[in-house]
């Protein structure tokens, strides 16, 4: 962070906290801040010498442990073990302690230092595949080959696995605990993941008649649809069965409809298991492409071997087809862990209701209705209720705020945010709030709000289970600017707030990895285009993060697409996230209920985004009441999504 921004941050924080508690020294003008930023840059470059020269200057800085952490990370393979142990004891339970523990253990495993590995194993943080394989290596040298069984689940991945796993997999293959079928299953996973390098490596290593050479894949890659249509495979050969399913996957990813026409001509020549697998894959890929026949294709699929994503799209294909018996059957076939998700409970209730079994649907709606999310709102409306927000703010005293702000970990959160080390700040904050009860979460949210950390404030307020404060969960900062931008562009202020909350959590100077900037996350080319539409001759690029400019430009851009997408906020939100071309392409061939259209958006990120924006809009509609504004339900807001050329579609149907 540059000096000007740092000064502005501290001035803002001081203004927010005045009268509440003494401003923490974390935000005092600290010349060492520049040294911390320089140290981070040195770490990113791998410059241990530069780091060593900076470290003595920042020994008393609140982020001094980060500088030490960076030094140790760069020297893991050579540093004295006791130095690492001391750091890990001192910073146990912190993000940097957890990260160093994992990296240290992996370093010890690479060095074959199992005695050193044992001292710090197991770490608090888990989920690292390389460490999981290192742990199996550790147990194997201690307990023998019986430990290898723990490595087998790691085999089933469509991505390349760390080198630490390879000797374990080799041993399991040699002992036939990883069978030929298991090896082919992983080839399929690699194919599904689009990982061609791994696909070829795994297939080339298959034994005997199952082996597929790279040149054979290359021949299909030249024209997958043609290879599929010709069907020139040796159907009794396992290698050619792999190639046939590879051709199916590659062809169906570009055009599932055309691939299906070829597939049905020769699929009967495959063994039943391979045929069921292929049926499932083309049904799934067709559903993702919004193929009208995907629901019928699912009827031929081997449901028992479908993964979670394929099962979810089975439900969505049935929804898009309006086949309510199939919706119910597909939801009822979900494993327990999936079936408990609010989405599938809601759609199960809808299917029951459409099948004249409303008495069975009502208890499901009633159980979902208290949830403050997309499905909770829809469920409440299904039983004639409005979503009701009950806020019970937690009283917070100046002494509590002062004590909380004096905590070292909280000071690190604030300083990391101040110095634009946002990811580290977020990790520290998650560690602070993860075990808090509702009341403490709300107090922490209030602290973060006053400290100008709006994203962390919303995060804490969002985590409460029984006691809520919706003013913190759905804040309305910059209200004058947002209301003016909404009025100027004839956009609903609740929708504008709903977009901004999802885009930036109201962090005004945030920049995404893709380069989107500010409250409304505008890309610089988009901002330039808007400036021309508004005849802003004096627009300058650095104005993009200014509150007035960003909110006005974002509102204009949103309105532009609302006008071109039938005024439907769900379509406009999809266009805002994924681009207008995709939102248009996802329109149905015939009029479709808005909630079903949202549920069947092909991109996971955009589907989740639109649901959250629409739920946000409902809550902001309650937070920004207008006396002359009637209540508009979520069902009404979602409306009916029409085809791109609705007039032509109506004429054709007539």
- Report the candidate in 10, 15, 66, 18 with the shortest Cα–Cα distance to residue 38: 66
Tell me the C-alpha distance between 439 and 34, whole Å.
37
- Per DSSP, 126 falls in state -
Tell me the C-alpha distance between 542 and 525, whole Å.
13
Please say whether the beta carbons of 292 and 283 come within 8 A. no
Tell me the C-alpha distance between 431 and 549, whole Å.
35
Tell me the C-alpha distance between 526 and 519, whole Å.
14
Please say whether the beta carbons of 635 and 576 come within 8 A. no
Please say whether the beta carbons of 55 and 47 come within 8 A. no
Count Cβ atoms below 10 Å from residue 605 Cβ, excluding itself: 10
- Cβ burial of 378 (10 Å; 0-12, 13-18, 19+) is buried
Tell me the C-alpha distance between 476 and 619, whole Å.
11
Tell me if the bond preceding 122 is cis, omega within 30° of 0.
Answer: yes
Tell me the C-alpha distance between 471 and 412, whole Å.
26
- Determine whether 503 is an active site residue: yes
Considering the candidates 503, 542, 546, 605, report the single residue annotated as catalytic.
503
- Report the candidate in 123, 185, 118 with the shortest Cα–Cα distance to residue 156: 185
**Dihedrals φ, ψ of 491, to 5°?**
-115, 145
Distances 319 to 287, 353, 607 between C-alpha atoms, Å? 11, 14, 15
Tell me the C-alpha distance between 313 and 319, whole Å.
9
Q: What is the DSSP string of 299-339?
A: TTS-GGG--HHHHHHHHHHHHHHT-HHHHHHHHHTS-HHHH
Tell me the C-alpha distance between 587 and 572, whole Å.
12
174 CB-near residues (< 8 Å, 6+ apart): none
Tell me the C-alpha distance between 574 and 606, whole Å.
6
Tell me the C-alpha distance between 35 and 30, whole Å.
10
Tell me the C-alpha distance between 201 and 171, whole Å.
18
505 CB-near residues (< 8 Å, 6+ apart): 454, 455, 458, 459
The SS3 call for residue 592 is strand
- Per DSSP, 465 falls in state S
Axis-axis angle for helices 308-321, 324-332 (nearest 10): 160
> How far out from the chain centre does Cα 642 lie?
29
Tell me the C-alpha distance between 640 and 617, whole Å.
18
Beta bridge partner(s), residue 593: 640
The SS3 call for residue 223 is coil
- Per DSSP, 517 falls in state B
Q: What separation, in Å, do the N-terminal and C-terminal C-alpha atoms of the chain show?
A: 62
- Report the candidate in 573, 569, 582, 412 with the shortest Cα–Cα distance to residue 492: 569
Please say whether the beta carbons of 130 and 164 come within 8 A. yes
- Per DSSP, 2 falls in state -
Q: Which residues are catalytic?
A: 503
């Amino acid at each position: 962070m540059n000096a000007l921004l740092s000064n502005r941050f501290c001035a803002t924080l001081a203004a927010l906290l005045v009268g509440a508690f003494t401003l923490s020294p974390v935000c005092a003008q600290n010349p060492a801040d520049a040294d911390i930023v320089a140290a981070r840059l040195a770490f990113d470059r791998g410059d241990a010498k530069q780091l060593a020269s900076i470290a003595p200057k920042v020994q008393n800085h609140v982020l001094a442990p980060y500088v030490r952490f960076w030094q140790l990370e760069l020297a893991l393979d050579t540093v004295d073990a006791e130095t690492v142990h001391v750091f890990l004891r001192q910073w146990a339970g912190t993000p940097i302690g957890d990260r160093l523990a994992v990296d240290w253990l992996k370093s010890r495993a690479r060095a074959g230092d199992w005695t050193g590995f044992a001292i710090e194993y197991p770490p608090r943080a888990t989920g690292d595949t390389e460490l999981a394989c290192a742990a199996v290596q550790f147990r194997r040298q201690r307990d023998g080959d019986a430990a290898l069984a723990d490595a087998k689940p790691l085999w089933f991945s469509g991505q390349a696995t760390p080198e630490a796993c390879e000797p374990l997999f080799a041993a399991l293959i040699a002992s036939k605990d990883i069978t030929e079928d298991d090896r082919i299953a992983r080839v399929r996973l690699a194919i599904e993941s689009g990982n061609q390098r791994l696909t070829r490596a795994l297939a080339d290593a298959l034994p005997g008649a199952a082996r597929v050479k790279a040149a054979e894949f290359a021949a299909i890659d030249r024209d997958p649809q043609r290879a599929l249509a010709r069907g020139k495979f040796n159907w009794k050969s396992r290698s050619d069965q792999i190639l046939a399913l590879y051709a199916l996957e590659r062809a169906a990813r570009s055009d599932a409809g055309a691939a299906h026409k070829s597939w049905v001509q020769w699929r009967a020549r495959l063994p039943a298991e391979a045929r069921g697998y292929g049926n499932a894959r083309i049904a799934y890929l067709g559903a993702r492409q919004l193929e009208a026949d995907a629901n019928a294709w699912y009827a031929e699929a081997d449901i028992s071997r479908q993964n979670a994503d394929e099962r979810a799209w089975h439900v969505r294909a049935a929804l898009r087809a309006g086949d309510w018996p199939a919706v119910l059957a597909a939801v009822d076939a979900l494993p327990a862990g999936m079936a408990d998700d609010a989405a599938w409970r809601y759609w199960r209730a809808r299917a029951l209701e459409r099948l004249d079994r409303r008495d069975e649907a009502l208890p499901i709606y009633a159980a979902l209705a208290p949830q403050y999310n997309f499905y909770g709102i829809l469920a409440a409306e299904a039983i004639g209720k409005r979503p009701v927000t009950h806020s019970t703010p937690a009283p917070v005293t100046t002494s509590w705020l002062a004590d909380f702000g004096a905590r070292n970990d909280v000071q690190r959160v604030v300083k990391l945010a101040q110095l634009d080390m946002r990811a580290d700040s977020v990790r520290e904050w998650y560690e602070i709030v993860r075990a808090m009860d509702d009341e403490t979460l709300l107090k922490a949210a209030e602290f973060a709000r006053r400290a100008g950390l709006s994203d962390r404030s919303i995060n804490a307020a969002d985590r409460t289970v029984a006691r809520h404060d919706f003013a913190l969960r759905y804040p309305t900062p910059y209200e004058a600017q947002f209301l003016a931008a909404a009025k100027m562009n004839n956009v609903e202020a609740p929708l504008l707030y709903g977009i901004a909350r999802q885009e930036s959590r109201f962090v005004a100077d945030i920049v995404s990895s893709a380069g989107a900037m500010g409250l409304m996350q505008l890309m610089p080319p988009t901002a330039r285009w808007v400036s021309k539409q508004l005849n802003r001759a004096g627009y300058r690029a650095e104005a993009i993060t200014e509150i007035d400019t960003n909110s006005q430009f974002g509102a204009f851009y949103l309105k532009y697409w609302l006008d071109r997408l039938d005024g439907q906020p769900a379509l406009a939100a999809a266009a805002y996230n994924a681009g207008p071309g995709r939102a248009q392409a996802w329109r149905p061939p015939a009029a479709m209920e808005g909630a079903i259209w949202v549920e069947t958006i092909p991109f996971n990120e955009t589907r989740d985004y639109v649901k959250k924006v629409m739920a946000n809009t409902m809550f902001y509609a309650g937070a920004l009441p207008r006396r002359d504004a009637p209540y508009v339900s979520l069902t009404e807001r979602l409306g009916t999504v029409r085809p791109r050329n609705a007039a032509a579609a109506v004429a054709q149907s007539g």
